[in-house]
Amino acid sequence: MNLRSMTIFLLMLVALHACKDDKKEIVEPTNEPKEAPAFEYFVEQFADVRILRYQIPGWENLTLKEQKLVYYLTQAGLAGRDIMWDQNYRHNLQIRTALETIYTNYDGDKFSDDWKAFETYLKRVWFSNGIHHHYSNDKLKPGFDRDYLKFLLAETHASLDDEAFEVIFNDKDAKKVNQAKGVDNVAESAVNFYGPGVTNADVEQFYKNKKSPDPHKPLSFGLNSKLVKENGQLKEEVYKSGGLYGAAIDEIIKWLELAKGVAENEPQAEALGLLISYYKTGDLQTWDDYNVAWTNATEGNVDYINSFIEVYNDPLGYRGSYENIVQINDFDMSQKMKVLSDNAQWFEDNSPLMEEHKKDKVVGVTYKVVNVAGESGDASPSTPIGVNLPNANWIRAAVGSKSVSLGNIIDAYNNAGGSERLKEFANDQEEIQLEETYGQLADKLHTALHEVIGHASGRINKGVGETKETLKNYASTLEEGRADLLGLYFLYSPKLQELGLVDDWKKVGMAAYDGYIRNGLMTQLVRLNLGDDVEEAHMRNRQWVSAWVFEKGKQDNVIEKITREGKTYYNINNYEKLHELFGQLLRETQRIKSEGDFNAVESLVETYGVKVDQQIHAEVLKRNEQFHTAPYSGFVNPLLVPETNAEGEITAIKVKQPESFSGQMLDYSKNFGFLK
């Protein structure tokens, strides 16, 4: 494939500095499509959210057996949807049931401001899988009062107990995940991973006493359980068949067994069998065995992510949120990007890490572009655009990992995008031109480097514990910043041109650096209310990376802060020096991880990543008022509709698009409401 063809294919995708580990951040694309697509991506917009649709390219090329596999896997994912709701907050399912009962049964005035506020609130709750904002973790504030909700409950014969009713309006449980310094993060977080009375000290002591059979292969203690106090004693309530969430898990198992029956090959069937066993037993050794088998199962057209995986919703990083993503491989694009995983060792060897922190051998990194066929749990409606799994460091080192880019999700963002914010916040026409010409490619490559090279790089010193134990509540933001930094370091490198990935490495790197600094110091602030600290792990990492290099480069005027006509801009004067600064910070973040240096990570994040310049924040919010595109986007899922013969056998599966966000949410509650 010649370079021009390669570049055209790469430009088809936008990647937005995120991954599954980056799960909750979507930076809006900057380029408008040249022609309006025939497919209608836009569904609706409310509050700070935009709902989109996505297509499933390649569906018609799958065999009926493969389509059945996809269908069964998506049904398995949806069967566990309510688990995510309950994990997010203990009153979520009760509140959702009451709100949906009102929504479907109320036949009064639906033109009043109160009703419109109620409808918006319900949609926000649907989008966030609960009453806390999906990104900021703040409790959602209704635009109606107590009396109106009491009226609606009475009119529709819906019910809420007193505590669940009051929590909608009061200040209790105000933060789903509280990452603030100097507080008991577990006690101050509303997330339903811990029972009443459980504290940071309880969690740390409980897992300090847990010992893995093989210390070189530490088990993921706490990943699939809730930690509670019973008669003053700590105990785990394990997610499994017959255990916590058993009713939903039994449905998941039912669909996974059907999927196993139509697996594409033996490795895939073996992995599915181990996942089923894990759900039946809750055994963490089985979880590791499954992850090894899943990582090695790289052949076939269909793959999936399913179970309790990402730990961002746990303030201490132990417990996994339920999620499911079903994927169809895009073989053409995957082959084009395979060059990165093939050269993973070169990137490791030539990184600025200390020699003792580099891996001697980077193993098993696979990178694919896939098309999503269905999502649920923590991946829906707000979705990642890239995933790197498994998360266990020892499996990454010994076996490898899978990295995927969700191509059709990225394509949907691209086709639904706009360039207004770029023109407002970029310093000059040169910066705008670089972004418009190279920005999408730069973002695509940054995500690939972040996923394939970043998360796979570096090693922890012998004798140093797991990162969640050593770096505690700063572990997630440190890891995401470390992966971002490795991507940034190599984005400004002639190696990318040597590998045939770009035709002008310097301009691609300049566009990447411009975009990262602009976002890290300014534009991501549109997601915060004035006066808020930065708490979400990925927003923190983008800020501490950007703020650190800005400060360290002041003496050489590497990044210049410019005020023009009352507006603030950041202009990079020396890209070469900025490249060096990114390398220095990368070296330090890997040292922190490798040595488990809690004091250093606390100082880094608290100094540069938490507090916001209030004057700039107010200015950014004011400048952003002119734009009508919501800062957050999410998706409805396509409908996979089986057709059957007289014997009930599936003869075909058709792909249809849902008509509305509300309709899909109500259908999900009706058909997959296995927890009451």
Contact predicate 465/475, CB 8 Å: no
Q: pLDDT value at position 317? A: 94
Q: pLDDT value at position 36? A: 44
Q: Would the pLDDT of 37 be above 60? A: no
Q: Which two tokens stand for residue 546?
A: 């950007």
Q: pLDDT value at position 369? A: 87
Average pLDDT, integer, range 370-399: 94
More confident position, 190 or 23: 190
Q: pLDDT value at position 447? A: 85
Strands 321-329 and 302-310: antiparallel
Q: Would the pLDDT of 28 be above 50? A: no
Q: Would the pLDDT of 371 be above 50? A: yes
CA 163 to centroid of chain Cα atoms: 31
Contacts of 611 (CB under 8 A, 6+ apart): 533, 534
How far is it, in rounded angstroms, from Cα 354 to Cα 248?
47
Q: pLDDT value at position 417? A: 64
Identify the band that residue 421 occupies on the pLDDT scale cut at 50, 70 and 90.
confident
Q: Which two tokens stand for residue 191?
A: 């997330």
How far is it, in rounded angstroms, from Cα 80 to Cα 306?
10
Contact predicate 226/192, CB 8 Å: yes
Average pLDDT, integer, range 241-245: 98
Min mean pLDDT across 322-326, 467-471, 484-488 is at 467-471
Average pLDDT, integer, range 301-315: 97
Residue 379 lies in a domain: yes
What is the per-residue pLDDT across 617-664, written as a single tens digit (0 to 9) for each?
Answer: 999 999 999 988 888 999 999 999 999 999 999 999 999 999 999 999
Residue 51 lies in a domain: yes
Q: Which two tokens stand for residue 393?
A: 């460091």
Residue 250 lies in a domain: no
- Total number of domains in the chain: 1
What is the per-residue pLDDT across 559-602, written as a single tens digit (0 to 9) for each?
Answer: 999 999 999 999 999 999 999 999 999 999 999 999 999 999 99
Residue 638 lies in a domain: no
The domain in which residue 49 lies consists of 3-21+41-57+330-628
Average pLDDT, integer, range 376-400: 93
What is the per-residue pLDDT across 144-186, written as a single tens digit (0 to 9) for each?
Answer: 999 999 999 999 999 999 999 999 999 999 999 999 999 999 9
Q: pLDDT value at position 411? A: 86
User: What's the Cα-to-Cα distance from 513 to each of 19, 63, 506, rounded to whole Å?
Assistant: 19, 44, 10
CA 477 to centroid of chain Cα atoms: 13
How far is it, in rounded angstroms, from Cα 286 to Cα 219?
10
Residue 314 lies in a domain: no
User: What's the Cα-to-Cα distance from 628 to each of 111, 403, 455, rounded to whole Å?
Assistant: 23, 34, 35
How far is it, in rounded angstroms, from Cα 418 to Cα 413?
10
How far is it, in rounded angstroms, from Cα 485 to Cα 488?
5
Q: pLDDT value at position 366? A: 82
> 1, exposed or middle or buried, with CB in 10 Å at 0-12, 13-18, 19+?
exposed
Residue 10 lies in a domain: yes
Q: Which two tokens stand for residue 573?
A: 């004067």
How far is it, in rounded angstroms, from Cα 345 to Cα 363?
8
Average pLDDT value over all residues in the chain? 92
Residue 233 lies in a domain: no
Give the residue from 318, 83, 95 showing the smallest Cα distance to 186.
318
What is the per-residue pLDDT across 499-551, written as a single tens digit (0 to 9) for each?
Answer: 999 999 999 999 999 999 999 999 999 989 899 999 899 999 999 999 999 99
Q: pLDDT value at position 21? A: 40
Q: pLDDT value at position 451? A: 86
